[in-house]
Structure 1
């Protein structure tokens, strides 16, 4: 253990270098939490740390590929050198492969199952002593795809992993509540993150973008896509909501009520 241990409030955020993870980290830092940002890209992590510097809390970065079998244990060891108390663990890393049933591969299923279900479970397990010490909480980032399907996008394997994460959230809330640890999830609708822009919007023609915008207005009662800050606001609430556990909070502009 390092001698530089601290009793400050600590939050560990996976996928914390951009998009939802970065926005959530910012909301937690705004509320006074020191941060451990986990991500694959060292340069993006350093850029994120500089952006978060304005909150005047400590920001530690940990480059790690969460698909590696030893990643959860290695992350927990790194965190353990900083603190023995984790107040918030945000399991934000995930991946999606959309394919028809006929085209779904075992490799894609295994990749999604590992990152979307096993990694949140294993990282929660590895950090459990620190979470118990802090009477902290786990926030799992799920998706509306557990509840709502979209015409033309085949999601059976991906939706299955998000449904599993929601069930795991409720089961862990039941198990860990007596030890003082709360477990909740957020199920966002479509959020206009850098990844969404790169992978979905950028390849569209002008006509396709117009059709996309019209579809959003039709599908979402609130008439727009989400922002990363919309989800971050919900995460900050769950991090501090001392009598809330086992909740899968839909932050989706009303998408799943239609």
Structure 2
């Protein structure tokens, strides 16, 4: 029998980490509502995820727009009154020095990385309580580990904020039966990582990158989307019914070295 018959909401669910997480939750029996910007990618993800035998709905929305969360939450609540899992995965990153990061760039990251998870969790709180559900926030190792030569003050601030909010909400919502956890991945080989980072490297830079990975990560590699998806599936499941307020590092040991 499926372990989870409630609905799972995954923002940024059309590809990358969000798509992998959605697949792992559907494999546990969850019906899905995917939220992302691109209707074409959403439809491709929906068709693929239907193989798990659960229902898959999609909502095309740009959550960086100030009014988008309210509209998305209203649409979700027309589809279900029980939210078993809310995965706040959508996010954005700008790596720039203090002098090169504009107020607008900071605000864009704060909106998508912190404010959207807060507002969406608030808007769906009644449905989460009804299902005795859980929230999973996707954070990053950048909240507490910096890299030489790569400035991250603004981005790291947003990830530190989501970690603090995760713990505070776990404390607040626990009496209502709602668990709140976060996953802090290391570098993960997603399409975005490939196109925006690896794809720009020369062969020599790629060789240096691979050598650095073997040094930085005790397990000798960067992550795969499925590594994060399996962690999310655990946190969403009854196996984690006494787990809340955790910032789970899924990073190949990066943050212990």
The bucket for the TM-score relative to the shorter chain is over 0.9
Compute the TM-score of the two structures, normalised by the length of structure 1: 0.97
Task: Say which of 8, 21, 25 aligns to 1:24.
Answer: 21
Q: Within the alignment, does 1:221 sit opposite 2:218 as a pair?
A: yes
Q: Within the alignment, does 1:119 sit opposite 2:123 as a pair?
A: no
Task: Say which of 159, 172, 175 aligns to 2:172.
Answer: 175
Spell out the pairing of 1:102-251 with structure 2 (5 A cutoff). 102-240=99-237, 241-251=240-250
CA distance in 2, matches of 1:78, 1:51: 22
Spell out the pairing of 1:85-96 with structure 2 (5 A cutoff). 85-96=82-93
CA distance in 2, matches of 1:8, 1:191: 29
Deviation at 1:102, TM superposition (A): 1.4
Task: Say which of 47, 52, 55 aligns to 1:55.
Answer: 52
CA distance in 1, matches of 2:207, 2:38: 33
Deviation at 1:165, TM superposition (A): 0.3
Q: Secondary structure at the match of 2:83?
A: coil
CA distance in 1, matches of 2:50, 2:170: 33
Deviation at 1:26, TM superposition (A): 0.1
Bigger drift between 69-78 and 178-187 goes to 69-78
Moved over 6 A (4+): none
The alignment's C-alpha RMSD in Å is 0.9
Provide the residue aligned with 1:97 in structure 2: 94
Q: Secondary structure at the match of 1:57?
A: coil
Unaligned runs of 5+ in 2: none
CA distance in 2, matches of 1:84, 1:51: 25
Deviation at 1:101, TM superposition (A): 1.1
Provide the residue aligned with 1:4 in structure 2: none
Provide the residue aligned with 1:257 in structure 2: 256
CA distance in 2, matches of 1:156, 1:219: 21
Deviation at 1:189, TM superposition (A): 0.1
Deviation at 1:78, TM superposition (A): 1.0
Describe the superposition over 1:28-70 as per-residue Cα deviations: whole angstroms up to 9, x where unpaired: 0000000000000000000001110110100000000001112
Aligned length, in residue pairs: 252
